Structure 1
């Protein structure tokens, strides 16, 4: 978005800013009847306080609220993907690889089960990392380059957000259903006499992911997912369910739209 467009849109929305609030213009737009509509956000203490939907020319309420459905959805889901993704991408590969490279005797049944569950978590983590990195590249080098989002972008962000939830679900269910086994694996790693001992923070990571089961159970409940043994079917079911939930959320946000009224 060029400086002239930014100044024009800012002039429109600044009059709706309240005391101690900052305002920004999202650089991507949605076209309604050939007119590009942008989303402006008002922040207070770095938290969302309201929105406005404006175009370069004359604003139309019906058009603006049509654009709100698309722009708010894309912004909310993209933000969620990045927020969850950034936290998980901070976990270094060595936290998984080094514990998994520790040899285990065949007779260590529970420990081996824990090791296998931990290997499953590493597999999920790798898939998750690829998903988020691919989305980040798409967002930065495709969406921000053209600025104009269309239906295929909405489909992509919903598919990505749904898959993020699937990976979160698989991570939490693995941790909960194999909690004792992963803890046994962590205890083994701590006591194992190996040629190269694991670093303390790597041991703490394996132990730490087994703690706070009540928090994990609450996080799983908050995902509010339709469960099916067939993961492919489950992903499709939750895509449709999420689309319905997202529509309700976006509709509820209309009461925070300051302009147009």
Structure 2
């Protein structure tokens, strides 16, 4: 059923298409008063340069405005999660597990400090990866089941986007605040002749963490995030902030829609 509706929406969208543009219809609709509404992007050179909102039936202004808010919030948050999180979620956890395994085989008291730091970083990275993958696994499952977007989807997108932002901030801060510990860890690994036992890529990884201290501190200061010592409180504050600003963006984006209702 959705396929037929999408074909009808694409037909409408072609009326507002400009030269060299491709039409992308987001496949999951928002249902408003038993009517399906779809978000459309007009893409040129792989970049969206315009948007519109259509139903396969006749659009009703009040319904369309409500539908656009839900479609915009969910789809733009999903894009943010993918764009911000894809590379970070792919970080190889063996960068953390390999030295931990080496320390377990050759325990030394002076490696305990470095071990604790690496364990903490590993926990953050695993949480980041799990959060990212869980969101997109859920998205894929609901898309395959052809389920429309719901308020629950928006809540999950807000939670995921905010949690990934918080995890990224906390992890970068943990590294930037502890470069001296990483330096000592490398020195102790060399002293115990363990440094060469991990791969060159893993050695480069830890060396770059030290070298990039200034860059990481600049990144922290530039992050648009609400900071709080309590991570649960920090997550709550950033969910509220994210939802507020995305709703503001939505109002501006609505004014730029090609098909004005």
The normalised TM-score by structure 2 is 0.89
Distance 1:231 1:90, change over 3 A: closer
2:172 corresponds to: 172
Structure 1 residue 192 displacement after superposition: 4.8
2:241 corresponds to: 241
Q: Report if the CA contact (8 A) 1:61-1:260 is conserved.
A: no
Structure 1 residue 53 displacement after superposition: 0.4
Structure 1 residue 185 displacement after superposition: 2.4
1:5 corresponds to: 5
1:19-43 alpha-carbon deviations (Å, 9 max, x no partner) = 2221110001112222110001011
What is the root-mean-square deviation of aligned Cα atoms in Å?
Answer: 2.3
Matched length: 258
Does 1:252 pair with 2:252? Answer: yes
Distance 1:191 1:140, change over 3 A: farther
1:189-208 alpha-carbon deviations (Å, 9 max, x no partner) = 46652397111111112222
Structure 1 residue 252 displacement after superposition: 2.2
2:148 corresponds to: 148
Provide the rounded CA distance (Å) in 2 between the counterparts of 1:170 and 1:84.
15
Structure 1 residue 133 displacement after superposition: 1.6
Distance 1:219 1:183, change over 3 A: same
* Structure 1: segments with no counterpart, 5+ residues: none
Structure 1 residue 56 displacement after superposition: 0.8
2:42 corresponds to: 42
Distance 1:188 1:23, change over 3 A: farther
2:159 corresponds to: 159
Provide the rounded CA distance (Å) in 1 between the counterparts of 2:54 and 2:122.
45
Provide the rounded CA distance (Å) in 2 between the counterparts of 1:80 and 1:194.
40
* Structure 2: segments with no counterpart, 5+ residues: none
Q: Report if the CA contact (8 A) 1:13-1:40 is conserved.
A: yes
Does 1:84 pair with 2:87? Answer: no
